[in-house]
Chain A
């Protein structure tokens, strides 16, 4: 079975630019108080972190200093540890300003069952008390098992549960595209 490409490099770039503008719009009056960003993008390892960095760079170009970018590892917060292969954890990096009172935008590559995001919300709880939490994903493939939805979506991609969706990003993969199959 061969996988079919659904997003190319240019599509991904366009989607991220659009999401950046949506984020700005929904956070009007975005400011940096005392030089500290009001908005914190936290990527979920591995590819969510890369996407968060890209979004951060775009937003920084539009409004310098408005966002801080970090990473939030959710491995220890999953409820399915014993059912999946042991996964290596990755570092969590909370930006120096912390997350208390900030608007946190969780960033992931694919939204599926919603369990990763639930784990991320639990993890977030242990690091502070944000003013609001939003969710941005590159792909929403459906099949939710929890009442979770994304605020910013690059592309809705209805899929069968048997299909695999693969996000490849040039920072760590040898190509840049999203495939299904």
Chain B
């Protein structure tokens, strides 16, 4: 594996291998010595054109636990045109000898452009590009689901037969896209629930069923309910009339959580709008995996960096 740009590129075996390595990486966090020497001498650059402290710190901890050198490069707010800064920055990083570039960018496809450009020879990890994909988030979600379902017997397993309902702003969600491809590859079946305004105009090629009714989706008793964040900028763009109406129709409130089967889990990629797409009670319930998702993010990112930097004479 040279780059991680989209979960569409992952085979089932690839994906399971990453999840399995992440299981080992998770064990490291419990040791007295929380560091592995695997990436000693390698340089990982966090290239963030968009603010995301959570994701950046997660990658940084992951790289450091593997003994890599980490450079944080925040390219936001540069005075040159944004386009020039992607190319110029890439060439600068190439000159610094970056082995892996972890890139977050507001433009869909920017990591792919970087990987194909010839400006830099490093492995590229997509840490979220526009409204396209966020592959490591999907991997950590899959990892979290698998651990909840199978515990210590997780290793080697997919998510065959698991039912997952994703609720909210599918149209603008890179988390949703990455999860749709990955969870399907792992054998899960997916349902999307949102108002029609927040669904892509054409999902005919997607391996999902689509609906508008959250209550019906809850009563179907899915194994997993994944709530997506509603961005503030959608509020006044006529995607729905008001936060109150959205919350009433598509928010996961205490009453809806109570109707879920006891074994169902509730996920959210964070940061949450408590009281909008998810109630405080739902977010803090025993069914919620929100905090596990954060912890698992480090293990998954360790596994991804390990996969990118091993196996090819990079």
- Chain A residues with a Cβ under 8 A of chain B: 73, 75-78, 81-92, 122, 125-127
Contact = CB atoms under 8 A, between A and B. Distances in A.
B314 interface: yes
B313 A82 contact: yes
A82 B312 contact: yes
B23 interface: yes
Nearest to B306: A76
Contact of B310 (A81, A122, A125): A81
23 contacts: A76-B36, A76-B38, A76-B66, A76-B306, A77-B37, A81-B306, A82-B309, A82-B311, A82-B314, A83-B313, A88-B17, A88-B20, A88-B21, A89-B21, A90-B24, A91-B24, A91-B27, A91-B155, A92-B24, A125-B33, A126-B31, A126-B32, A126-B33
Interface in B1-27: 1, 17, 20-21, 23-24, 27
Given A77-B38, A91-B23, A91-B24, A86 B33 contact: no
A144 to B, nearest CB: 22
B274 interface: no
Contacts, number: 58
Contacts of B310: 81-82, 84, 86-87
A87 B17 CA distance: 9
Nearest to A90: B24
Nearest to B21: A89
Given A77-B36, A81-B310, A81-B311, 14 more contacts: A75-B24, A76-B38, A81-B39, A82-B314, A84-B310, A86-B307, A86-B310, A88-B20, A88-B21, A89-B20, A89-B24, A91-B23, A125-B33, A127-B33
B98 to A, nearest CB: 15
A92 B27 contact: yes
